[in-house]
Amino acid sequence: MVGVKTNRKTITDKNFAVLASGFGSNLQATIDAVKRGDIKGKLALVVSDRRDAYALTRACKAKIPSVFIDPTIFADRESYGRELIRQLQTADIQYIVLAGFMRILSEHFVKTFHNRIINVHPALLPSFRGSHAIADALAFGVKVTGVTIHLVDDKIDHGPIVSQEAVLIEPRDTLKTLEKKIHAVEHRIYPLAINLLVTGKLQVRGRRVIVKT
């Protein structure tokens, strides 16, 4: 396990971390949005469960502190979750952004950051849950799919929905072309939702998410 490459900063309620397992295109969209000022918060840490994740390279290039937490050295999901919490609290993280983090979060982790974890899913939930949502929608033959931004609860792809946008599936679409359309929407609307989260504008009432003005 690699330790957090940062010094302890003054606590701010707008510090957030991105958790990513792979290429990190949504991480890059987030980095770019912070630089433009579209996200009024500080991306203070990038965390990955894979040593070779390109997301860590993106963090390094952007001079953002990063940490690899090796899941193979922990006995179970709960112990891994406790280490995640420790690293995040050390970096004074208040909000969590999931960007292709391919690991189920522990119940304790979700409770610790209750209504402060946000995720992007490449389908219109509650349809096509799981890690193959784009391929599943294409194979099922639906005419419309899309992107869902939601808060994270203790169930997979289930938490209160922040925003959604539809994407038409055309007859000539392939998995590659549909993925490209889905990702373009993700990169545009996810930073908007992240900004609402870190600026405290999301109010949860049951399963409804209200944007405070």
3-state secondary structure of 92: coil
Q: Which DSSP letter does residue 73 get?
A: G
Interatomic CA distance for residues 11 and 13, integer angstroms = 7
Interatomic CA distance for residues 86 and 13, integer angstroms = 17
Active-site annotation holder among 114, 121, 132, 158 = 121
Strand partners, 19: 47, 98
| Strand runs labelled E in 2-80 | 15-19, 42-48, 66-68
How do strand 42-48 and strand 117-121 relate by DSSP bridges?
unpaired
3-state secondary structure of 203: strand
Q: Is 121 a catalytic residue?
A: yes
Enumerate the active-site residues. 121
